[in-house]
Structure 1
Amino acid sequence: MTVDAVDLIDLYAAEGGGGEEYEFPASDAQSRLLVLDQLNPGSPQYNVPVAFAVHGPFDTAAFGRALDALVDRHEALRTVFRTAEDGTPAQRVSAVGRVPLTVHRDVPADGADALLLAEAARPFDTSAGPLLRCTVYAVDDGSHRVLLVAHHLVCDGWSLGLMLEELSEGYRDTVRGLPHRPAELPLQFPDYAAWQRERAADGAFEASVRHWVERLRGAPATMELPLDRPRPAVRTAAGGTERFVFGAEVRERLAEVAAASGATPFMT
């Protein structure tokens, strides 16, 4: 198996490179996640991976250009995190950047999945970045496996679907030699974070805080659910997946409960 580095460039260059940088406050959700990341440094628990297989011709260089265009359009994908001078979490956005894209060639078909899992679990450095990376595995059966991994600080499950859709469109245009110029985004995530901080400074969230403090008064510290083994003294990320099918009657009842609670079926 051989490895090529394609556009293996730091998203946030050292001094003298990478263009101008901008600094914004982190959002509330990002601030909470940064605390958890600092409590358990080097953990892949907040990695957001997605992998897909390509059968047929695959232009790695064109895919890399489409990926760079995606990062150019979305500031969140060019972001790292630090502590500002006032001690609050801040996000630093690079004006330009490229995604590290590594290509593994001649990968045995029976070993591709293990390589994907290992790369998906490789942790990020949230202060150095980049917080998005891509690996392509050219398998010896002629197919390709493509793995994108982002840190949850800059991407969530919903955003991932939108990102893949935009990336697919960009790749298709690039391969065909067509210009790919999606509309400029009127707002970026740092705009939302700044708006959130302004509202907090104006006291807009105080009523919500008081509401939930009262509603949760006396709530148990842990949810004592029936378990099939004792709760460990220290929580781990070990777990599994159980799949089952709801009948129509149960699904309808769940939908009713969700609607009455103002929640999505997923939340319910």
Structure 2
Amino acid sequence: KLSFAALMYQQTPRKIGENIQMGEVNQVYEQGEINGESPLTPIQLEFFNKNHVVPNHYNQALMLRSDEPFDIPSLKTAITEIIKHHDALRNVYDGQRQITLSTEESKLYDWYEKDYTKVQDVSKEIEYASDKLQASIDLATGPLVKVGLFHSDSGDHLLICVHHLVIDGVSWRILLEDLFSGYRQIQETSKITLPMKTASYKEWANALTQYAK
């Protein structure tokens, strides 16, 4: 570990390195399901206070393509387990109340599948379906995760759409790594083991609130 004072006042990498104290990390995080209400973080408060014209449509989406058809049962299982594992993906919003639903309460995600093989202007059809799927997010009822699978003559196109309140650029890297790993595990062993949980979003939001005070 490294103290804040050492980081600020030691002016060279060597001196900073000399002040690093090696030791075991004893922090243990809850590995079970996290649900219930948690405070909004500052960036989430900014989102609500900006009065977006279409707040439900403020999402981030990623389109993946595979030359080979996806194994749909394995894909659905991997997505389900990831949303159970990453609790904030089950969030809904009652005004400015942030509530993480239990896995029993949450629908987890919406699935949309369409076959566009032998369709002439497939890109236009996929774009139309993607826009429709992204516009269907409802912050109050959820789910905030929408998945679209579009079959075409050039392969399968997988759209993953998540509201920006519960995901950002850093989160995408973690989510995709877990998705690819989980999908492969299910195909190889019929079960999935995801990495240990670190601090939950609820813990993070509470910590930020206390720090701000």
TM-score interval, smaller chain: 0.7 to 0.9
Which residue among 42, 45, 63 is the counterpart of 1:31?
45
TM-score by length of 2: 0.74
CA distance in 2, matches of 1:62, 1:22: 29
Partner residue of 2:112?
102
**Hey, what does 1:75 align to over in structure 2?**
87
**Structure 2: gaps spanning 5 or more residues:** 1-32
Aligned runs of 1:105-254 on 2, under 5 Å? 105-108=115-118, 110-121=120-131, 122-123=134-135, 124-139=137-152, 141=153, 143-201=155-213
- Determine if contact 1:82/1:127 at 8 Å carries over to the other structure: yes
Larger Rg: 1
CA offsets 1:72-127 (integer angstroms, 9 cap, x no match): 110111111123xxxxx221101204221111124445433224433443322222
For the 8 Å contact 2:149–2:156, the answer to whether it is kept is yes
Contact conserved, 1:47 with 1:120, CA < 8 A, in 2? no
d(CA) in 1 for partners of 2:122, 2:91: 30
TM-score normalized by the length of structure 1: 0.59
Contact in 2 for aligned 1:112/1:137 (Cα 8 Å): no
- Asked if the contact 1:26/1:190 (under 8 Å) is kept, the reply is no
- In the aligned structure 2, how far is the partner of 1:110 from the partner of 1:162? 36
Q: Deviations over 1:125-154 (max 9, x none)?
A: 222211111000011x16110000111101
Q: Is the 8 A contact 2:34 2:87 kept in 1?
A: no
| Residue 90, structure 1, aligned to residue 116, structure 2 | no
Contact 1:107 1:137 in 2 (8 A): no
Corresponding letter in the other structure for 1:137: F
1:172 Cα deviation from its structure 2 partner: 0.7
Distance 2:39 2:59 in 1: 22
The structure showing larger relative contact order (alpha-carbon pairs under 8 Å, at least 6 residues apart) is 2
CA distance in 2, matches of 1:120, 1:198: 40
Q: Structure 1 residues 71 and 20 mapped into 2: Cα distance closer, same or farther (>3 Å)?
A: closer
Aligned-residue CA RMSD (Å): 2.3
- Identical positions, percent: 21
Whichever residue aligns with residue 40 of structure 1, its letter is V
The answer as to whether partners of 1:73 and 1:184 remain within 8 angstroms in 2 is no
Aligned residue pair count? 175
Alpha-carbon distance in 2 for matches of 1:39, 1:157: 20
Q: What is the identity, as a one-letter code, of the residue corresponding to 2:46?
A: R
Q: What is the DSSP-based 3-state SS (H/G/I as helix, E as strand, rest coil) of the residue aligned with 1:153?
A: helix
